[in-house]
Structure 1
Amino acid sequence: MEIHAVNILYDFCIMSTLLLIAKIIRSKVKIIQKLYIPSSLLGGMIGLLLGKYFLNILPFSTEISNYSSILITILFATMFLGSKRKVSFKTMISNVGDSFLINGAAEIAQFGLFIIIGVLILPMFFKSINIGFGLLLPAGFVGGHGTAAAIGAAFADMGWDEATSIGQTFATIGLISGIVLGVIIINIGTRKGYTRLIKKIDELPEDMRTGLISKESRSSMGENTVSPCQLTH
């Protein structure tokens, strides 16, 4: 148990360093800002390049592949924590109704289509394929690495050990292609006047491009709820 704790600590330190390096790169490199590549994705790409299966420089432990299925539980458990505000249904629909309907339609369509493909079509060509394969593609594309890890872990518990890796692969492909193609589509839509909030990409504030908020625009992130006395006695 102690060895596992040390491995987690080492892995956490490495991942934190990668995120810091990625944040610095994103705040300085213009092309990454224009593509809106998040620091987490950039740090993951650096970690993949320097990890075991490429340059083999970073000493990640063998337990790192298990973290995602555990951390997604924390994410779901804390998702609805926060300040409580009363918002009317009409206001909510006016502000986010179009995005909600588009995202919902895309999610339902992907799950329905690829489950049918995975269950009915792929087994005709690949006799030994697991019928859950069709669920992993939309899990990665729609839900990202967290959902792919959760569903992959469930399949792994049922004896399909490769499910998590397949789901994470789909999630990575979906994230990278979504960012690159998404930015291209957004740029085209902005130039044609289809967007509501901005008419030019250059109008976006600098903090959205660099990921760093200027000193004069910074605000408090919360209030102290725990007495320091309880932390020292």
Structure 2
Amino acid sequence: MSAQMIGFSFLIIGVFLLLGKLIRFKTKWLRRLFLPSSIIGGFLALIVGPQVLGRITSTVLNEGSFFYNGLIPEFILDAWSPLPGMFINIVFAALFLGQTVPSVKKIWNNAGPQIVMGHTVSFGQYAIGVLLTYFVLTPVFGTNPLAAGLIEIAFVGGHGTAAGLGPTFNELGFPEGADLALGLATIGILFGVIVGIAIINIAHRRGIAKYVDGKKEMTEEEKEQISDTYGYEMEQEVREPKAIEPLAFHLSLVGVAILIGYVIQQGLILLEASTWGAWTGVHLLSYIPLFPLAMIGGMVVQKVFEKRGIENYIDPNLVNKISGLALDVLLVSALATLSLDVIGDNIIPFVLIAVTGAAWTTFAFLYLGPKMLPDHWFERGLGDYGQQTGMAATGLLLMKVADPDQQTPALEGFGYKQILFEPFVGGGLVTSASLPLIFEFGPLVFLAITGSITIIFLVFGLVYFNPKRAKARENTRTFQARKSSE
């Protein structure tokens, strides 16, 4: 494939992003679902490609026709196929760039309950996924045991992680897993938004959601900003390097972060090959994708800049824009190359996985949330619920609806939570290691590991945070007094 064809393929992604934005603007019900334009554009590309339209055109056109497979030529889809696995590295490398990491004590004091709750739900998704796969999906439908990891990969990891793990699914002999994960990620977002909004309305009528009315209504512009962004907008004074274009400078930082991750990856593979891999014949690290290590590379770059006292050279807003662009490209290319045949051939396991994941996540929010989150359990748990059914932007959206004026510390705690959450689950090291662990040791060993971790976090949350309710109420009054003085 020529460089010109690859470049043209990228231009077509831009066309579908614009079409997705236009459709979203013109379609009220899509705006109410708060779906990003990139997801709409990706599904539009799927519809006009060989999976849908192509099945119609192939019956009326000759095989040599340009539109035999739909409106998207085959060479464009060939160019798009590897993009999710490449661009996920940019998204994760930029995750902590430009964000000063607060002390562990400060993180724990504010977001400790949300951190424990988040890990409980995520590892619980693995545990119930193993139970469902081992006792139902594999013996009844012949589903690959690796399906045990799909709930967490798709629901917490989202489209980006699902697409990024495509090469790992292929290497482990479960290529259809990536398509199933992408489909589940879409179901998760729709479920999280629709059910989340319904829960807020019911809770508001019952007096549980006390801050929905806020001090002012959310404007359409604010709603648009939440649903079309993927991170936090941070304000700080930023010094722009004069010797290099700021965008090029920040792209270079992302590139360095990915390179550091690659060096770490190759070092770990070499270490494993010369030690326990050679002794036992068990190889795990060679299946670990690059993107969680690229995230560590981004943290290394950030810490180096902080140590040198030049962290204000990194503009978090520009980093977020680079990450957002990469995620948009990733989503359009991943959804456009999604195989509907795979989902159709596995429709019953697909539905069972989706229902089981949604049921566990909703149960954890509504039943465990009040017991594990000492203060503002509804607002805090709502953000986690949105993230654990779709993506962080869904959690931000639901919190903004339930607490539009930030009268609770939920949003602040949600941001702090990511520092001790994202490096491990939701696309982090545990998520990327889950498939190799199941492959090498089997689902029962993986169940023992994830089930034990789930129980540890659950018991700790119930025992440690429940007695703190009285102190939490005092902290609530202090926080509200501070917000009022502002």
User: Could you tell which deviates more after superposition, 69-78 or 27-36?
Assistant: 27-36
Note if contact 1:140-1:170 (Cα within 8 Å) is conserved in structure 2: yes
Aligned: 1:17 with 2:15: yes
Aligned: 1:183 with 2:197: yes
**Which of 47, 53, 57 pairs up with 2:45?**
47
Aligned to 1:70: 86
Aligned: 1:174 with 2:188: yes
SS at match of 2:51: coil
Query: How far does residue 82 in structure 1 lie from its aligned partner after superposition?
Result: 1.0
Aligned to 1:215: none
Note if contact 2:20-2:40 (Cα within 8 Å) is conserved in structure 1: yes
**Count of residue pairs brought into register by the alignment:** 221
CA distance in 2, matches of 1:196, 1:85: 31
CA distance in 2, matches of 1:185, 1:175: 15
- State the one-letter code of the partner of 1:103: G
Q: Deviations over 1:39-92 (max 9, x none)?
A: 222222222222221222234322323221222122222221113264673466
Gaps of 5+ in 1: 213-218
CA distance in 1, matches of 2:207, 2:103: 29
Q: Normalising to structure 1: TM-score of the pair? A: 0.76
Note if contact 1:72-1:146 (Cα within 8 Å) is conserved in structure 2: yes
**Which of 177, 202, 207 pairs up with 1:163?**
177
Note if contact 1:34-1:209 (Cα within 8 Å) is conserved in structure 2: no
Rate the CA distance shift 1:154–1:106 in 2: closer, same or farther, 3 A. Answer: same
CA distance in 1, matches of 2:239, 2:201: 39
Q: Normalising to structure 2: TM-score of the pair? A: 0.40
CA distance in 1, matches of 2:211, 2:108: 17
CA distance in 2, matches of 1:51, 1:150: 21
Aligned: 1:111 with 2:109: no
Aligned to 1:122: 137
CA distance in 1, matches of 2:238, 2:71: 39
Rate the CA distance shift 1:196–1:46 in 2: closer, same or farther, 3 A. Answer: farther
CA RMSD after TM alignment:
3.3
CA distance in 1, matches of 2:143, 2:104: 48
Note if contact 1:35-1:183 (Cα within 8 Å) is conserved in structure 2: no
Q: Deviations over 1:132-169 (max 9, x none)?
A: 11212331122112222233321201333322222222
Aligned: 1:145 with 2:165: no
Note if contact 2:162-2:178 (Cα within 8 Å) is conserved in structure 1: yes
Aligned to 2:96: 80
Rate the CA distance shift 1:75–1:144 in 2: closer, same or farther, 3 A. Answer: same
Point out the structure with the larger helix share. Answer: 2
Q: Give the number of the structure whose alpha-carbon radius of gyration is greater.
A: 2
Query: How far does residue 227 in structure 1 lie from its aligned partner after superposition?
Result: 2.5
Rate the CA distance shift 1:77–1:185 in 2: closer, same or farther, 3 A. Answer: same
Q: Deviations over 1:173-214 (max 9, x none)?
A: 2222222222322333344443465327x82233222339xx
- State the one-letter code of the partner of 2:144: N
Pick 1 or 2: higher relative contact order, CA cutoff 8 A, min separation 6: 2
Query: How far does residue 131 in structure 1 lie from its aligned partner after superposition?
Result: 1.0
User: Could you tell which deviates more after superposition, 187-196 or 115-124?
Assistant: 187-196
Aligned to 2:240: 224
Note if contact 2:146-2:174 (Cα within 8 Å) is conserved in structure 1: no
CA distance in 2, matches of 1:61, 1:204: 40
Moved over 6 A (4+): none
User: Could you tell which deviates more after superposition, 98-107 or 146-155?
Assistant: 98-107
Matches within 5 A, 1:28-43: 29-43=27-41
Gaps of 5+ in 2: 54-69, 227-234, 249-486
Note if contact 2:17-2:41 (Cα within 8 Å) is conserved in structure 1: yes
Rate the CA distance shift 1:118–1:85 in 2: closer, same or farther, 3 A. Answer: closer
Aligned: 1:136 with 2:134: no
Query: How far does residue 105 in structure 1 lie from its aligned partner after superposition?
Result: 2.5
Q: Deviations over 1:3-51 (max 9, x none)?
A: 2x33432232222222223334444544333322222222222222222
